[in-house]
Amino acid sequence: MARSCEICGKHRSVGHNVSHANNKTKRTWQPNLQRVRAQVNGGVRRLRVCTRCLRSGRVLKAPVRSVTL
């Protein structure tokens, strides 16, 4: 599924904007996803991961590639 965390599965949530006059219109809240290079099963993959998973250490970030000129 697009726009979801590949670690915990967090995805968009749906609700209403509520005006002062109590008019309700649909709206969505998107998770804060970041594309990171992570180590998965001994290899390196690009994952879309929420910041909660990054902060809590559920994702082991891959070392930065050194560029040789």
Please write the tens of the pLDDT for every residue from 22-43: 999 999 999 999 999 999 998 9
The percentage of residues in the chain with a pLDDT greater than 70, rounded to a whole number, is 99
The SS3 call for residue 69 is coil
Q: What pTM did the predictor assign?
A: 0.78
Residues whose CB falls within 8 Å of the CB of residue 62, separated by 6 or more in sequence, listed in order: 37, 38, 39, 44
Does 45 score more than 70 pLDDT? yes
